[in-house]
Chains A and B, each alone.
Chain A
Amino acid sequence: MTYVTRLASLDDYEKGGVEVIDDDPKNYAFSNIFEVASRAKPFEQIAVGKNFEYVLEVVRVEGVSGWRACAHDQSALVLEGEVEFTLRTLDGSQNLPPNGSAGVGEEVTGTAMGRVVARRGHLTLLPGGRAYRYGSGRPAVLLIQTVEGVDTQYRWAEICQTA
């Protein structure tokens, strides 16, 4: 028998859901990454998961982001498309918030650390205390493992099953 692994994309996703027996579906904060990304503006960081201070952010990548940095490690999982990550050291003048990522300006003059070209299923380290930016020529989708920060957006009532 030949098995087919069912992945999803912006143009081809099928959402499941909560079938309530005796509960409130809002308890499950059920959403779909591709539905969220399809309605997002480029580079919005929309939380689809939250566990105390930690969040999972969905980002629609389209074009090239501004430079960002974070005091702690993050990871970025490409779920659609191809994304190029560019990393640099910080020049020491930026004060990073303790939690979550923040923009660090249009130009970063630190030392070039390298770059990664990642496609669907590839998990990339965004190292703490370093600057990064990412870009894609066509719409791509990232899932970012991080801590809630100044740019984390919460839209639970819009993205989650409520009934």
Chain B
Amino acid sequence: MTTAEVPAVSQGQGPNEFGYLEFSLGEFRFSRDEYFAYITWPTGRHVMSVDAFLRALQRDVAWEFFYGIVNFDGVLGTVNHYGTVDLFAGRYNDAYRKAELDHVENIDTPVIREMFARMLDNWTNEGFDPFASPQETGSAFGVKHGDNSAAVTRHRVTAKRMVSLPGDEPLRDDASGHPVNRMFADVTQDEPEVYPEPGFEAEVGSFNLFSYLSRSPVTWNPSVVSVCRDSLYCPTTEEYILPIIHGNDRAEWFVQLSDEIIWDVEDRDTGRKRAKVIMKAGDVAAMPSDIRHQGYSPKRSMLLVWENASLKIPQLISSGQFPTQPVEF
């Protein structure tokens, strides 16, 4: 494995023949043409379909590198160290490791965040929304044409206490540009009956979470709707394939609220297949902290992702002070 630290970040002098800027971060180089993203590093090279690359990049940027590992595919990805980020190629791929072709660079989070955000914005064409389901967006392909800055910089919901409370994240409705999604047309839109006594409006609160989710314009984008200390409810609507393979640095839990998702589960470090987890409405399952997972949702579904955001967890687990599975019985 090769490693480097404190990498330089740069951007090409001007657009390439397809109209796109080229970027470098340390010894990684990123370029795209009409169909593909190309990534090179001192010991190797990689190519991805550019729509898949942008969908993964969008999530890495919007989620601030998320919890643990964001694998763009079986080769490329990032590891969040909460202040710095590892950008890697082949680090969690058994074949690359054995061939010593993998490469890792550790980068201050603001540096990689800024570079990834500029690449995402430059490489996303007008009409393509990396967060939308494939049936609800235009094409990522072709020579550079326009941009979709509004989509790639959209606000991520992070409630401080609970959505709908005064001063917190607002509800969604037609007027705010959140129509009910075509696959959730049958979801009941009634709101709870809330009767606060005067002076208690900030504490007596409730909202229709299912309606809220039915109006989400994006897919595979967990967003915080309620908070109990470090316990975060991060529901999301899922359709087609999770555009990343999420490698856990802590256990996370899934509560399937509607429909069905099939999860492919692999060993986090090698990619060895471990299980398939079939989740139907009402099912609850943990994703242990030593796996990586990717979901498939045939119909748009509602998934409650439940996270523990405590910063102490990765060290407790990696040091062996806490087991990789969240409960033992």
Contact = CB atoms under 8 A, between A and B. Distances in A.
Contact of A51 (B186, B190, B251): B251
Interface residues of B, number: 78
Interface string B287-307: 110000000000110000011
B308 A30 contact: no
A160 B193 CA distance: 35
Contacts of B287: 28
A35 to B, nearest CB: 8
Contacts of B161: 73, 125
Interface in B272-329: 272-288, 299-300, 306-308, 310, 313, 322, 324-327, 329
A6 B192 contact: no
A111 B200 CA distance: 10
A107 B222 CA distance: 40
A73 to B, nearest CB: 5
B188 interface: yes
A28 B313 contact: no
Nearest to A80: B282
B204 A51 contact: no
A118 B206 contact: yes
A115 B195 contact: yes
A121 B211 contact: yes
A22 B165 contact: no
B203 interface: yes
A139 to B, nearest CB: 14
Contacts of B327: 29, 50, 154, 156
Contacts of A150: none
Contacts of B182: 3
A87 B209 contact: no
B200 A122 contact: no
Interface in B242-275: 250-253, 255-260, 265, 272-275
Contacts of A35: 282
Contacts of A59: none
Contacts of B325: 26-27, 29
A19 B278 contact: yes
A75 interface: yes
A15 interface: yes
A106 interface: no
A6 B259 contact: yes
Interface stretch (B10-18, B85-93, B143-151, B229-237): B229-237
B205 A125 contact: yes
Interface string A75-103: 10101000001010000000000000000
Contact of B195 (A23, A114, A120): A114
B247 to A, nearest CB: 15
Given A116-B206, A125-B203, A143 B162 contact: no
B99 interface: no
Contacts of B329: 26, 29, 154, 156-157, 160
A23 B274 contact: yes
Nearest to A113: B200
Interface in B141-178: 161-163, 165
Contacts of A72: 228-229
A124 B192 contact: yes
27 contacts: A3-B184, A16-B277, A18-B285, A19-B275, A19-B278, A23-B265, A29-B284, A32-B283, A32-B284, A49-B306, A51-B252, A51-B253, A52-B322, A52-B326, A73-B162, A73-B227, A74-B228, A75-B162, A79-B282, A87-B200, A114-B195, A114-B204, A116-B195, A117-B192, A130-B203, A145-B228, A160-B329
Of all A-B residue pairs in the complex, the 8 with the closest CB atoms, nearest first, are A121-B210, A16-B278, A156-B329, A8-B281, A114-B204, A114-B196, A8-B282, A124-B206
Given A3-B185, A51-B308, A145-B228, 14 more contacts: A8-B282, A15-B283, A16-B260, A20-B275, A22-B274, A30-B284, A51-B250, A51-B251, A54-B231, A116-B205, A119-B192, A123-B209, A123-B233, A154-B327
Interface of B: 161-163, 165, 182-188, 190-197, 200, 203-211, 225-231, 233, 250-253, 255-260, 265, 272-288, 299-300, 306-308, 310, 313, 322, 324-327, 329
